[in-house]
């Protein structure tokens, strides 16, 4: 491994995946997300039918059971962690879990039918229940050894989500699920980087890592050696939504809308 290779460490115990880097800065789009300064972030696999609402207490219990004492941002997933996969490239590493039992379709053509789904623009699940448990989820955790400016860390989150979306569209036909989330992190003691877009080393490496990790997790979850299949449409899925509502388009002007 090169000197610049990511030193973020990944460990799985008791259904809890921990990504650790002492003193890292994190930005999470998940529950209790936002900016964190912590030594670790987590991806926690929850059982089917999960209905706990006291998430802070529940996640603390899960970390304690797994022997992880560090607090930090947490994501939840219905995917078993045997399907977690990671990838490294230059100063970046990523780990992903991918399940698409609750796809979120976004028809682009204005007059296209809503993916043969019975759902309405209100966002009910494919089985007609807005409160059905979400047992899919594509979660991505990305870390870089570079020290990123605040804007670059936020942009890295966008880069990671963009890469995840591109892979899902290619592999499943869906841009995401109803409960996807991402966490990104940087090493404040590392070499400073002002930008993290696709043309930078951090951005390019992050895109590659997310691509390989998500594809590998999908292959583990839905590959030839499994009985699972990716749903052909939202209607064929256990749960999911189609965004079939239309927005009004306007042209900004100097005098306002």
Asked if pLDDT for residue 56 goes beyond 70, the answer is: yes
Q: Domain of 211: which CATH number?
A: 3.60.70
Average pLDDT, integer, range 230-256: 90
The pLDDT assigned to 255 comes to 75
The pLDDT assigned to 254 comes to 79
Within a domain: 255: no
Within a domain: 58: yes
Q: How many domains does the chain have?
A: 1
Q: What percent of the chain has pLDDT over 90?
A: 81
Residue 77 to residue 61: CA distance in whole angstroms: 16
Q: Which among 61, 31, 3 is positioned nearest to 183, based on CA atoms?
A: 31
Within a domain: 243: no
The pLDDT assigned to 219 comes to 97
pTM: 0.89
Q: What percent of the chain has pLDDT over 70?
A: 87
Asked if pLDDT for residue 167 goes beyond 50, the answer is: yes
Within a domain: 245: no
Give the model confidence (pLDDT) of 23-55 as tens digits: 999 999 999 999 999 999 999 999 988 999 999
Asked if pLDDT for residue 79 goes beyond 90, the answer is: yes
Both structure tokens of 56: 């802070």
The pLDDT assigned to 113 comes to 53
Q: What is the residue range of 146's domain?
A: 9-224
The pLDDT assigned to 129 comes to 38
DSSP per position, 11-78: EEETTEEEEEEEEEEEEE-STT-EEEEEEEEEEEE--TT-----HHHHHHHHHHHHT------EEEES
Within a domain: 242: no
The pLDDT assigned to 121 comes to 42
The pLDDT assigned to 55 comes to 96
Q: Which uninterrupted H or E stretch holds 105? A: strand 104-105
> Bigger pLDDT: 105 or 128?
105
Give the model confidence (pLDDT) of 189-207 as tens digits: 999 999 999 999 999 999 9
Q: Which among 172, 8, 169, 18 is positioned nearest to 89, based on CA atoms?
A: 8
Residue 67 to residue 63: CA distance in whole angstroms: 6
Asked if pLDDT for residue 119 goes beyond 60, the answer is: no
- Residues in the chain, total: 257
Residue 3 pLDDT level (bands cut at 50, 70, 90): very low
Within a domain: 186: yes
Average pLDDT, integer, range 56-79: 97
The pLDDT assigned to 237 comes to 93
Within a domain: 79: yes
Asked if pLDDT for residue 109 goes beyond 70, the answer is: yes
For residue 75, list its beta bridge partners: 43
Asked if pLDDT for residue 10 goes beyond 90, the answer is: yes
Within a domain: 250: no
Residue 229 to residue 245: CA distance in whole angstroms: 28
């Amino acid at each position: 491994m090169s000197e610049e290779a990511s030193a973020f460490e990944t460990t799985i115990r008791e259904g809890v995946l921990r990504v650790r880097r002492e003193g890292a800065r994190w930005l999470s789009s998940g529950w209790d997300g936002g900016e964190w300064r912590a030594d670790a972030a987590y991806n926690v696999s929850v059982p089917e039918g999960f209905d706990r609402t006291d998430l802070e207490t529940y996640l603390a219990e899960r970390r304690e059971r797994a022997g992880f004492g560090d607090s930090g941002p947490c994501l939840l997933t219905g995917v078993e962690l045997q399907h977690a996969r990671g990838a490294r490239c230059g100063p970046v590493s990523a780990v992903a879990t991918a399940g698409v039992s609750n796809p979120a379709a976004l028809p682009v053509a204005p007059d296209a039918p809503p993916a043969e789904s019975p759902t309405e623009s209100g966002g009910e699940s494919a089985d007609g229940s807005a409160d059905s448990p979400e047992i899919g989820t594509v979660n991505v955790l990305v870390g870089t050894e570079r020290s990123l400016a605040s804007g670059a860390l936020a942009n890295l989150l966008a880069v990671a989500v963009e890469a995840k979306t591109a892979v899902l569209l290619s592999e499943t036909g869906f841009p995401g699920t109803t409960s996807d989330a991402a966490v990104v992190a940087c090493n404040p003691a590392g070499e400073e980087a002002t930008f993290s877009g696709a043309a930078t080393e951090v951005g390019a490496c992050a895109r590659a890592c997310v691509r390989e990790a998500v594809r590998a997790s999908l292959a583990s979850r839905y590959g030839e050696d499994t009985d699972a299949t990716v749903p052909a449409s939202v209607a064929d899925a256990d749960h999911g939504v189609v965004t079939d509502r239309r927005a009004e388009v306007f042209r900004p002007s100097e005098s306002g809308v």
